Amino acid sequence: MQSDLNEAYRGRKILVTGGAGFIGLNLVERLVELGADVTIYDYAMSRSAEVMAEQYRDRLRLCQGDIRDEAKVEEAVRGKDILFNLAGKSGAADSNKSSLIDLDVNCRGHLTLLEACRRINPGAAVVFPSSRLVYGRPRQLPVDEDHPLQPESFYAVHKTTVEHYLQVYARQFDLRSAVLRISNPYGPLQGHDERIYGVANKFVQAAVDNQPIRLFGDGTQKRDYLYIDDLVDALLKSGIKASSPPLVMNIGGREVVSLQQLAELIVRLAGTGSIEHVTWPEEFLSVETGNYYGCLQRAENHLAWQPVTSLEDGLGKTIERYRKA
Amino acid sequence: MQSDLNEAYRGRKILVTGGAGFIGLNLVERLVELGADVTIYDYAMSRSAEVMAEQYRDRLRLCQGDIRDEAKVEEAVRGKDILFNLAGKSGAADSNKSSLIDLDVNCRGHLTLLEACRRINPGAAVVFPSSRLVYGRPRQLPVDEDHPLQPESFYAVHKTTVEHYLQVYARQFDLRSAVLRISNPYGPLQGHDERIYGVANKFVQAAVDNQPIRLFGDGTQKRDYLYIDDLVDALLKSGIKASSPPLVMNIGGREVVSLQQLAELIVRLAGTGSIEHVTWPEEFLSVETGNYYGCLQRAENHLAWQPVTSLEDGLGKTIERYRKA
């Protein structure tokens, strides 16, 4: 499959919006290694993006701009083969404090890109990182893609809206796309200046700093954790398999563990840090959706993808990189 | 139930956004008759709204403003008991030509109102007119409220998004609301200056003008048609029964007929007009969702509501009013 990816991406023109963030940078690194011609579009460039652009001068361009800027986005979309639309504001709890901003960035932003596609590049394929949060509190486990969508935060509502946009663009304009309902990604950051992303990385940071990992409540809720290399692999394969109607798939990790088990594993692997149980902060309790793990059969069928990194390996590599940073 | 409505609405402070439109004016007329203290909030006042405000000077106020104007909306929401949030841009085909405008008016507008509620009037009840279009092409008939939401136009996507907002506001802030998934409303307009609304009214207008009714394709698709008085009754009852989580209900008409049958009935009742079959215009074909009729059991259970106006009676009254106008 590595050779398939090489063939599929060598010389292809790829846009990665939000490409200077955690998932974006990891994706971009793989893309340039595969020989793609990559443009990062982001409202603020990270130091790591600049370093990477120095390193791959002939294959990586940086374009600074807001995802809501119609003219700039149109320019960025022009002539691209595949668009990874990773731009956006993350965080369910945050979105409940600023719903109008979340709407503007996460809906208007994506719609601006899709309108640009329709106008000047309807043949492009779009890959959209949705979230397991579109399901809300699962009715049964594992959750498959036919589970009803019952988003419980503005963040999740707007992910659902963009999924619906992609359905409409497929039906009305035959746009090809792939929707990845991603669980909890974690892994090494690409540099020193990125903000901490997601619960597993936060725990790693605490352990490496020999600080207590703060667990809300009893930490019994079970989740799966998706190592960044596995996620990048799913993104790359989705770019090739995007279709109309959209290919909608759960993308998650191999193992299902409780937050308590996750924290214990991190402390053991790091050899530093500890676990502290604290009362649920209201803002996080209000977006807590309980146990979750997804059925990954559809991604295996359509992408020949499955997560291959064990939690122990993934966390080990993450800890190592945090230590170096 | 009429006396229940009297009791529920007498002296209550009611906001009707989009109150100068077709549904709005019909609702407002009933509200003032029931003794409510009503404010119409609309971006442009119709002549009919002004006439009505003259007539009910002590019980009806007009407030001109955009639903996206945070300060003005906050002022309008303050102190109200029930908010009928009818403001918005209608038309599925239109929305596909101007998705960003549809997003701005129909999502940001409603979110602006809901944020105002949360901030200064969290005890208010909100009634939201959604649409049968949130279901898309029905998987089976009749459609009940558990049918998956698969919107096929931006208009329908944004109706779905607002429905999800109301779920989030209920969960996060305990806001009470009712969501009415309305089928095809029709009926007399309140005056002379309103634009023609919906397919049944368009057909009536053509027949009254002794013009041909233009049927797209063979006109075999079956629909139910909801007389405005029945819809207003459902809105009024929903205002009383709004709950957290939201009460979500199909609201539709009594009889299911094909468009061909509808047109024939209108021509017969009017004694004028004719039927002409024309090729489907692309913009309408692309948002056509085939046969639809909803299961109305939930509305009957929760509101003790059912549509009581026969299609023949409703169309007869509509034709009569169009003739006078």
Smallest Cβ–Cβ distance between B167 and the set A150, A172, A286 belongs to A150
Residue B196 has pLDDT above 90, yes or no: no
Angle between helices A228-241 and A22-33 (to 10 degrees): 60
Nearest Cβ partner for B99 among A99, A115, A151: A115
Given a cut of 80, whether residue B3 has pLDDT beyond it is: no
For the segment A85-90, the average pLDDT, to the nearest whole number, is: 93
In the DSSP assignment, the letter for residue A226 is E
Contacts of A104 in chain B (CB under 8 A): 108
Torsion of CA A187, A190, A195, A197, to 10 degrees: -20
Kindly report, residue by residue over A209-226, the tens digit of the pLDDT.
999 999 998 899 999 999
Question: Lowest mean pLDDT: which of A23-37, B83-97, B157-171?
Answer: B83-97
**Which range, A91-105, A119-133, B38-52, B82-96, is most confident?**
A119-133
Mutation target among B97, B100, B113 for the A interface, most CBs of A within 10 A: B100
CATH number of A2-188+226-253+294-309: 3.40.50.720
- B99 in reach of chain A (CB within 8 A): yes
Contact with chain B for residue A119, Cβ under 8 A: no
CATH fold of the domain at B2-187+224-254+294-308: Rossmann fold (3.40.50)
Residues from chain A that touch B68, judged by Cβ atoms under 8 A, are: none
**Residue B1: is its pLDDT beyond 60?**
no
B103 touches chain A (CB under 8 A): yes
Q: What is the mean pLDDT of chain A?
A: 94
Distance from CA of B164 to the nearest CA of A (A): 6
Q: Residue A274: pLDDT band by 50, 70, 90 thresholds? A: very high
Question: Rounded to an integer, what distance in angstroms lies between the CA atom of residue B72 and that of residue B66?
Answer: 8
- HEC profile for chain B? CHHHHHHHHCCCEEEEECCCCHHHHHHHHHHHHCCCEEEEEECCCCHHHHHHHHHCCCCEEEEECCCCCHHHHHHHHCCCCEEEECCCCCCHHHHCCCHHHHHHHHHHHHHHHHHHHHHHCCCCEEEEEEEHHHHCCCCCCCECCCCCCCCCCHHHHHHHHHHHHHHHHHHHHCCEEEEEEECEEECCCCCCCCCCCHHHHHHHHHHHCCCEEEEECCCCCEEEEEEHHHHHHHHHHHHHHCECCCEEEEECCCCEEEHHHHHHHHHHHHCCCEEEEECCCHHHHCCCCCCCCECCHHHHHHHCCCCCCCHHHHHHHHHHHHHHC
Q: Which residues on chain A are in Cβ contact (under 8 Å) with B154?
A: 165, 168
Q: Do B171 and A286 touch (CB under 8 A)?
A: yes
Locate the domains of chain B by residue range: 2-187+224-254+294-308
Q: Is the minimum CB–CB distance between A172 and chain B shorter than 8 Å?
A: yes
pLDDT interval class at A324 (50, 70, 90): confident
What are the start-end ranges of the H helices in chain A?
2-9, 22-33, 47-55, 70-77, 92-95, 99-102, 109-120, 154-173, 198-208, 228-241, 259-270, 282-285, 297-303, 311-324
Say whether pLDDT at A295 is over 60: yes
When pLDDT is cut at 50, 70 and 90, the band that residue A195 belongs to is low
Residue A164 forms contact with B (CB below 8 Å): yes
User: Does ipTM top 0.85?
Assistant: yes
A:B CB pairs within 8 Å: 75
Sheet holding A256-258, edge to edge: A184-186, A222-227, A256-258
pLDDT tens track for A178-194: 999 999 999 997 555 55
B99, B106, B169, best to mutate vs chain A, most A CBs in 10 Å: B99
pLDDT tens column, A302-321:
999 999 999 999 999 999 99
pLDDT tens by residue, B267-291: 999 999 999 999 998 888 888 888 9
What per-residue confidence (pLDDT) applies to B191? 57
Looking at residue B181, what is its pLDDT? Answer: 98
How confident is residue B325, by pLDDT bands cut at 50, 70 and 90?
A: confident
Residue B195 reports pLDDT greater than 70: no
Contact state of B108 with A112 under an 8 Å Cβ cutoff: no
Average pLDDT, stretch B34-47?
Answer: 95
Residue B193 has pLDDT above 60, yes or no: no
